[in-house]
Amino acid sequence: MILAQDCLSVFLYFIFLFSRRHGLWFRLRKVILWLLGVYIAIPFLVKLCPAIQAKLVFLNFVRVPYFIDLKRPQDQGLNHTCNYYLQPEEDVTIGVWHTVPAALWKNARGKDQPWFEEALGSTHPVILYLHGNAGTSSLGYHVVTFDYRGWGDSIGSPSERGMTYDALHVFDWIKARSGDNPVYIWGHSLGTGVATNLVRRLCERETPPDALILESPFTNIREEARSHPFSVIYRYFPGFDWFFLDPITTSGIKFANDENVKYISCSLLILHAEDDPVVPFHLGKKLYNIAATSRSFRDYKVQFVPFHTDLGYRHKYIYRSPELPRILREFLGKSEHEHHH
């Protein structure tokens, strides 16, 4: 051990002599001081401008892939998908994609918006998917997904209240066209915060969905921000909460899944990968434990399905699981039975 340290010291000494001889040491020192200055300045900048932290929460300025015409889902090979635009509020327009079940794919080719809207009244359940991969369409569901205000080609400024209202508007739009068909709400990642906000509101007005599915959920935005990979370099910075977490609250962003589940009365399924690097697995498990002991769920099924690290599903690839169709069939079948009894 001592020999290794001596070798390291000699190595660093020669590097120092070499760098100094070539004038690189002084440049390197300037770069290090500059980086240190930026590192210290960022927390103060975030504290003084909470809008910066809000941008980092929503990340709506990141559009990947960028060169896609969202008006034309058929360009992405989605010949069974139609693009709509809805207006939840004045000066707010949201883009919606509606994918029909596999049984209707042939008939859907070349059809216009009225045909797709009428198809919602067919005998297939509907999934309202809040920001995630709509890979469940082949299971026999209509999948309706949309970009919140400020995302994609949707018009408006993002906020928790606004995103929740957008989801409520789309849910009501679906219910007005889907007849007695079951409507399930599926939220992924940040969308789980919108989903529980929405379902809590629906339960309070006594129009709950037939089930709620949360994929890679967190407990609340403060705990998620504290655990997020972006926070690693500042996690032990003095006053981390004051600098980074309080501005989120100041911006009116809570996404309090842990509070919302106490007021939700419908079946709940939570899906989480053990190797999720964005929303830690323990946050999803903690949310499940809160929901499972909540009185609001005493007459409803609450299920937690983990996906082992070896599967490599991480944050956004659970939809690849060959077990997912069976999990959904079993859970949603039981949920529908509970809803009607």
State how beta strands 142-146 and 126-130 pair. Answer: parallel
Residue in 132, 51, 159, 149 with CA at minimum distance from that of residue 93: 149
Taking each helix axis from N to C end, the angle separating 24-48 and 50-58, rounded to the nearest 10 degrees, works out to 90
Respond yes or no: is residue 315 known to be catalytic: yes
Respond yes or no: is residue 299 known to be catalytic: no
Q: Kindly name the residue from 137, 178, 189, 251 that is annotated as catalytic.
A: 189
Respond yes or no: is residue 276 known to be catalytic: yes
State how beta strands 81-89 and 92-99 pair. Answer: antiparallel
Q: Kindly name the residue from 276, 294, 296, 335 that is annotated as catalytic.
A: 276
- Is 338 within 8 Å of 300 (Cβ atoms)? yes
Please state, in angstroms and as integers, the Cα–Cα distance from residue 194 to each residue in 123, 129, 229, following that order.
Answer: 27, 11, 22
Q: Kindly name the residue from 159, 275, 282, 315 that is annotated as catalytic.
A: 315
Q: Mention every residue, 6+ apart, whose C-beta is less than 8 A from residue 188.
A: 129, 130, 131, 132, 133, 215, 216, 316
State how beta strands 142-146 and 92-99 pair. Answer: antiparallel
- Which residues form the catalytic set? 189, 276, 315
